[in-house]
Each structure stands twice: as structure tokens, then as C-alpha cells.
Structure 1
Amino acid sequence: MKLLERLKTEVLTADGAMGTLLYAEGLDFCYEQLNVEKPGVIQGIHEQYIQAGADIIQTNTYSANSYKLARYGLEHRVQEFNEAGIQIAKQAAAAGGQYVLGTIGGIRSIRKSDATIDEVLSIVQQQAEPLLAGDPDGLLLETYYDFEELSAVVKHLRNQTDIPLIAQVSMHEPGVLQNGLQLNDALHRLDDLGADVVGVNCRLGPYHTIQAFEGVELPEKAFLSAFPNASLLDVEDGRIVYVSETDYYGRAARLLRDEGVRLIGGCCGTTPAHIVAVKSQLANLPPITKKTAVPHKPIVIRDAEPARYEPLHTKAKRERTILVELDTPRHLETENYFEGARQLQEAGAHAVTMADNSLASPRISNLAMASIVKHQDDIRPLVHITCRDHNLIGLQSHLMGLDALGIHDILAVTGDPTKIGDFPGATDVYDVSSLELFQLIKKLNEGISFSGRPLRKKANFSVAGAFNPNVRVVERAVKRLEKKIECGADYFITQPVYTKEKIIEIYEAVKHLDTPIFIGIMPLTNIRNAEFLHHEVPGIKLSDQVLERMRACGDNRQASTAEGIRIAQELIDTAASLFNGIYLITQFLRYDMTVELVHYINQIDAEREREVHHVTTTY
């Protein structure tokens, strides 16, 4: 009898984890490679699950795609591993007539930039071909956190084959997907796309999986499936373990059946003993054909409090807006820093920006300093956040803290690698890039956690992106800007620019964009500073003329300062004529130089306004 025919009248038991048993045996590398190098080990595990009572086993091919095999330099062996995987499973199931599912795992998690949908479909097609050629009883799509990805894969494979498709999402939070979609809605959409069995697997243990299914209505056509983890994971002596009594897991399977689930197996941490318990609890139980789902009670998400300030990006569309970067100290003496912030505000800077450990060197927390200047001196801070120093937990916590402090101006950047900073052995995190960070921040503005959970209140962040125009082909850099805009960037701040020609080139390249650009101007302090920036700092290049002008000042501090300011003023003349946004960058806490430049910008704007007024009144 075909798989779907049996599911009409029975609750079937699937197998449990493959990786858990291999990991317990000390085999901690590419599991799919074992299909070729240790096929007897893989077949032995299949047979253990069959002996435990599994009606269905899945191939050891979860990560047998070019994207994941590339971690081991094995991306050229996709066909080989999948052919071997389906062959081994079918050999194991031949005697007992168990069903064999060809397993295809998800690729994306939080990072959509890991692969585009077109790339995902190409990767899936390459894996599906050898699996389908092996004549499986169905395809199992499991551990998909990204619903866009799973939807596209189901639609693609439905056009390729008529065999059963089992499509399973994974959740960070019970009952809600990473994108905020309710599980009930997601499973019904997969049903509409042509999946024959829809359900969940991984991440959550039995308790939360049951809780999630309480709100799921029986699909119109598809059947429900559930492959929970054995429990929440733990770490003992550096090894991942799952602590779960098999009897408890079996009782949970019975409760899943009561929620309408017809295909029940196990994910991480489950073993043949868990499947024995499941089979025992499900013996002779008919499937549920009617149920009353617990209606989802939407959590009210309050609007964000009205912002005290106009967003910088809307202000910059109308009028001159000046940002000044004043990096927090690399030492614990702060009096000079706060004095500089006060003087910049008094001069007319609209916000003081604070980098997040620039050049990968530790400084006083910009969150702490931003909070002090805001609440102590009523200075508007713009806080930089790097993906380098914070994992997803830290990023969301950091952003929630900023919202609680009433700090809503952010620059999101990927961040310089740690190897260029004070601690080259430190770990680069990079859970996400700046592109994903824009999207995650915008989710917070909708009142949704990175995990999809409602946050009860919307945040109110205005997010800037970094723009490095000091490249050979500016148009290519602008293409990346356009991607950042699609992901949610509200405006851009450039790296320092040191020629009028470059400013004009930037203008020509971005004039089609409605997104404000703040041109970066960083006054030079002396020739040594100029040569360091030119030769050693990524993304900054000075012209020969600028270098020569600074060189002519020699070691004269006063002359060097004056010349650095003159060069900056000349650049400001051009930038201010083309852009409303000016971004002044303070070096070495030399805020006296940036204060003078703020005054200069206000002066030239006042002169232009007088000229316009004179012309208007004359005519």
C-alpha cells in the first residue's frame, strides 16, 4: 500500500535521529560522507530503527547538497553521496517493506544572503535528481526556518514529481515561524502549494511541539507530521547531550496524535529507544479526523512612542543636516569626551555618532556613552552596531536596550575583522551581515523578535548604512547600496572622501536614489596621520596633492591643523552644494577641528541664504 493510502487510516511511526547515534560513536565530521566510506554503519542504524518499529526511515542525506558539503571541500560529490544514501536505506528496508524518504535539508536560517532563492532551487535540484532516480516513497524536506525557502522548494519539486512531499518547518518559538507567521497559517499554505504531509521538526522538544500543534487546524488535503527533538539540548564536558526519558517521549507522541498528527518520528537526541516508546503508545490508535484547534490569541503590539526628534533621513531630505563622529575613548578617562560632545552640540551638530569598537579595537561601550550624553546633556546620539562583536542574542538584546533608553538612531555595519585590531586572536561573530541586520531591525520596528515572537511594542529605529565610495568603480558600490535599501536602510554615511572630483562622482552615481547620503569629511591632523590613512586604512585613499600639502607643514602642529581644516573646508564647499548631509569625523578627540568645521558649514549656509534672500527681494 502506498504511503499516503496508509496515512488515511493509520498513524505511522518514522525513525529518529541519525546524527545523534553517529555523534555518540565519536564520528563527528561529514555524516553524508559515511554513505560511501562506512555504508555498513549507516545501514546498521537504519536497521536499528526498523527493529524499533519505524514504519518509515529517511536517507542519510540531510546535508548532502553542494552548499553544505562545501564546508568539507566535498561539494563535487553530491550525486555520489545521495545515490549511496538512497541505496543503503532501500537495502535496509527491503526485508520489512518500510517506506523510504529521500531527505533534503534546509539551507537558510536567519541569513537570507546565504543563498538566493534561485541558488537554493539549483542546489535542491542537483540533490533531488539522484534521490528521485533511486525511487523513494517520498521526499522529506526538513528543518526549514525560512518559510520563503521552503515554499519555493515545495513549489519547485511539485512540478518535478508526483511522489509524496513531506514539508516540515522549524520554529524558534512555539506556534510562530521566524518571519512572524503563525504555524497554522504556514502549514495550510504548504498544503495549498501541494505538499502531501506538513509539519514541524527540530529545535523544540515534545512539550513545545505539542503546544504549537494545539493551535493547528487539520489541513484540507495534507496530513500532519511532527519530529520533535528529544528535549532541549545541554552540554556536558563539551559534548552536546539531550536528556529525555523515552517513556515521556512516547506519551508525548500520543498527545501529538490527539492533536491530529499522523506521522510521528524524532529529530535531534532521539534514538531507537524513543521510537520503541512511540510505537508502543501509538499501537492500534486510529488517526484523529476532527479537532477543535485552540484559537490563536494575537498579542497586541503597541505602536512605538512618538520620536522626540525628526528622523535624520527625513530631515536630510529637506535641509542641511550635520552628523559628527566622536568615537568613545580607548581608556577610562571620559571628561574630555563629554566636553567635546557638548561643544559639538553647541556648535550646531544635529547628532553625535559613536562607532562600535572601530578598527576592531576596544573602546568604552558606545551604548553606555550614548545613554550618558543623551540623559545628562540632551545630546542626540547615533550609535553604530557591528555584526562582528555581537551574536544574534547580543544584537537583539543591544537593540532592545537602545529602544528602552530612547535611542533610535543607528548605523548598522558588518564591522572590521578582529585580526586588524588590538586582539587579533579574538573571535569574529558575523552571525549576520549588515544586510540581514537591516532586515532584523525593521522587524523590531514591526514589534517582532528576530525569532518571530511578538515583542508587545514596536521599536522606532532609523537605520543608516555605510557606503565606501573610494573604489575603482563607484557604480558597483552603488549596486550594494540599492541592496541595502531593499533590506531597509534609510540613509547612508560615506567613508571619508578627500577629493572634490570624488564627491562629484558620488553625486552622479547616486542622484537617482531618493535615499539621503551623508558625505564623510575627516580633517587631517598631520602628515603622519595622512600617510597612515592613505597607506594602511582600508577604504581610504588621499590624492597626491593632499599628501603634498600636508607634507609641506612638516612637524608644525599649528600649521598642520590649519591645513587639515582648509582641505576639509574645500571639500565641504563641494559636498554642501550637492548634498544636504555632511558627516564630520573627529580623529584623536580633536573636536576643536570638527567644531570649527560645523561653524564653517553653518556660515556658508547662512551666506547662501542671504544671497537667495537678496536675489528674491531684488526681483
Structure 2
Amino acid sequence: MDLRQALKQRVLVADGAMGTLLYGNYGIASAFENLNLTHPDTILRVHQSYLSAGADVIQTNTYAANRLKLTRYDLQDQVTAINQAAVKLSTKARAAADHPAYILGTIGGLAGDTDQTVLQATPATVAASLTEQLTALLATQQLDGILLETYYELPELLAALKTVKAQTDLPVITNVSMLAPGVLRDGTTFADAVIQLAAAGADVIGTNCRLGPYYLAQSFENLAIPATVKLAVYPNSGLPGTDQDGRVVYDGEPSYFEEYAERFRQLGLNLIGGCCGTTPLHTAALVRGLASRTIVPHAGQTAQPEPTPLAATIGRHTFLQKVATQKTALVELDPPKDFETTKFFKGAQRLKAAGVDGLTLSDNSLATVRIANTTIAAELKLNYGITPIVHLTTRDHNLIGLQSEIMGLHSLGIEDILAITGDPAKLGDFPGATSVGDVRSVELIKLIKQFNSGIGPTGKSLKQATDFRVAAAFNPNAYRTDVSTKSIERKISYGCDYIITQPVFDLANVDALAAALAAHQIHIPVFVGILPLVSKRHAEFLHHEVHGIRLPKSVLTRMAQAESDGNERAVGIQIAKDLIDGICARFNGVHIVTPFNRFKTVIELVDYVQAKNLTLTK
């Protein structure tokens, strides 16, 4: 049975990541595709592991095995050898498997790569590079199909598909990569991309990389496309993070994939695999999670509810004075992703009226492009009288740029900064972009505070002293608290004035933080993070896909029951209130992160924090 027939008859499970598996498990950080020649046994073991886990479909280790990308390693003359060795290894692995399997020749997209060889390539050069790789793959006559994956731009994928269709009758799987669910980087909706790719002759159309199961599932909900279109999904294991050495790591659990396997089938998916961060354990979980291999029609799915309108709270710059004696709430908002800012600023006014003590503004969180938070902060302060706390990352600024930003904030009268490293640039809208690393976050704190002396980093007078108050970030979920507390001591030694933590979901982490701070006699203000849960899916997404966050089983169970009972919002708010009760028993500061623009929820929690001050005065 050929691949086209198999896709008509049942849901197929595909393999998972190759690159991140080699990087994470084998410590390999060179050209992964060259390992087909230099370490064939390693690549063979990876294929065999996925097949042993139950994969019906495996792909060749050829994602970047084209002339343009291999040039950076001086391997441009090895295109044919690398690609044909990859097919040979896949074929050898399949021959030893205990079940039938299909092999896809993989060709990756180029858009978003910042290597100069790729950036300077003309359309003709790109087409020639693709043709050379495709010719090498097809010459083996061992492939069951071609996989075009990780294409951020639809025109590039359509051009690649046209080239492939002109040279082979093999089935072609086309996977776009999205930075946000349901839309490509150029603004094309996923539904429109599917329709155009189907019209151009793609046999299977889907998406891979960038996002985990939670968001990719959303992209297939209510998908208005012809019922005859076959669909594929290759999610990442979750959102990546970085370890203490600055390496990108994934910690999404295989059990999460087990649950989403059946969900993907119910959404009408024909081919289900994995991308970055996935392993053979995730593939085995997909196999276990499928209740059936029967294909489900993908039409008529239910759309996700629209976010609730904006609302919340804020006040004058008194929060550091207030938090010394009273329960104090800060609220975090993300600046808008587009130029429609009316709702944002109307919401900010409602925040001020409700009495929030400060509004923190993220700096392109998850390396996703938004309006500059310094611009939004200036409007909030100058036009609305709202106190902004600006996140300032070392990721986007070299030493010159950081000093310029600091001077600009002072000129605008903005006095509160959260100094952070920022999420790695490769995780966001432009994975080919580079993160800047001139200084660490602790050194940024020192740099900012030096401006308070009126002296610049070069020793020259600034003619005026600034008056910045600097916050540092802390994640009580990520590492052993006693070890992490040392990082707080270091940040204090550099001039940190207060701490803002990542969201917590387990009061045991709050207890550990309070005990550690007391043991080390650290007495600066701490604002402990709260992120209200809006649904069972939201809870599972945070637990499985967000690096450094794990929810207690009790919380996951409560949200699962809430889904059954139809009261997820109410239960999510109650969980947040329970956490606030525990936090306020130990700290005066609460930092509420706004989920999905659910400002009504945030207002309720802010009111809950403020009510504690009334209780204390009675």
C-alpha cells in the first residue's frame, strides 16, 4: 500500500525531532545533516528509536541539507552525498522495523535564516539549491513522499511545491510554521494557506514547529476548508526555555502528547508527529493516546471563545512605599501587537480608575514583536497619569543601546525598570535573529543604578542624576530555592530594589521562598506572580509547554473537573484567590499577569487583594 492509500484509510503517526534530539541527548551542536556521513550509527539509532516507538512515518535527516545552508560549514559540495546517505540510513532502519513504515525526504524552508549566504541568495539561486537537493533525494528511488517543512512564508512554500511537483509524482506534505495560532508571519490565515496549497497540488497540508499542541490545536478548530483536504500537525513539545548555561531546552512531557493525540484525531488530522523537543517517548505517547486510527472529518469544529473586553486597575507611583505596610497589587500587560491601540489605552484608564498600584509592560515577551514598551509607557504616564514599570531586556540592546534606552526613560520621567535578560531571540517571530549578550541582567541593574549617581559608564558626568528604582526577576518554580536565593543576593549587591517573581501555582514554593529570604535576612519588597487560569486547556498548556512552570496535580484536577462542570472561569479565579491568600500571609506584594486580555478577571483579583487592607484596618 502506498502512502496516499494509507492516508485515506487511517491516521498515521509520524516521528519527532532530529536536531533537538541530537543536541539535547547526544550533545551534538554541529551540522546535524553531516552526521549522515560522519556518524551514521547515531542517525540510524534515532530512526530505529522512533520506529520502535510505533512511528508509521519517518523523515530523512536532511532538513538543512541544501547548498545554501551547508555553505556555512564549508560542506556545500557534499549535498548529494549527505542527502543520499540520509535516505540509505532511513531505508536501513525501516528494513529492520517490525511493522511497515514510510519514508519522507525532508526539505526545509529558508525564510527567516539570517546567514549571509541565504540572505544574499536570489530567487534563482534558491530554486537551484532546492532542485539540487531534491534531485539527490529522488535519485535513491527509496522515498515514499517529500516533506516540505518549516516554511514561514507562503510564497516560498508554493514555489517549492511547484518545483517538487514538476519533478516527481510522489505525494508531497507541506507544513507551514506559524508564530501565532491561525496566521502566518505575512498575515495570511492558516485557512487561506491550506486552500492555496491544496489548489497547488499538495497531498497533505499542515503545520510544524514554533508552537506546541495547545496553540496548534487552536489553528485547526473551525477550519473552513474543503473536506477532502488531508491535514498534518507536527507540534513542538512545548515552549522552550534556557538552562543555567543559556542553552535552549525543552521539558514538555510525553503524557501531554498522549492526551492531544486523540484531540488531534477528533479535529480531523491525518498525520500526527512531533517537532522540536520531541523524542521517541513523545511518539510512543501519540500511539497510546489514539483511541482509534479511524479518520474523523475535520469540518464543523467549534471556535474558541473571544477574549473578554479590557478592564483592570492602577494609581500614582506609590507602590514601593505602600508595599512596606499594605497589600499591594501590580498588573502586567503586553503592549499591542498591531497599531490598533484604542482598546489598550481605554483599558489602561479603567485600570487606573480601579486603583492598581503599577502597570508592568513586557518587552517583546517570548521574543514576539510588539509596539515598543517604552513608547507605550510614555503615553501611559504623560497622557493618562499611570505609573509604568518598563521591562528592559539585554537581549535586544548592546551596551550602547542600553545606555541610550536608560537615558531616554529618564528624559520621559519614567522611573521604574524591571531588568531582565529576555527570552532568546530564536524563540520568537524571527528565529534567525540574534540575541545580544553584552551584559547580563545583574550587570544591567548595576548600569542603571550608576546613572543614579549622575555618572555615566565611561566616568563622564551626565549633568543630572537619575532616580531609577530597579526590579529583578526571580522564578521560584525553576530551581532549588536555596540555590536561587543566592542570585537574589547578587542582584541586591548590584543595586536591585525589589523582586518580581514568575507566576506560582504551588504555595509550597511560596513558603520555600519566604523561608529562604528570612534565613538570608533579605528584606526587600517581593511581588509574587499570579496568573489566573481560564480553562483546563490553559492549565495544561502552562504545565506542559511553558518552561519552568509546573502545576500541582491538585490544580490540574480541579480545572479538569471545572471543564466537566462548565465553570472553568470561576474555578480558575478561586484557585488564584487561594494562592493570593497564601501569598498575602507571607508577602505584601502581588503581581497579576493578565491572561488572554481577560481584564475583568484581573479586576476581580485586584479587588480581592485590596479588600485585605480593609480587613486589616478593622
Q: Give the TM-score of the pair, scaled to structure 2.
A: 0.49
Q: Looking at CA atoms only, which structure, 1 or 2, has the larger radius of gyration?
A: 1
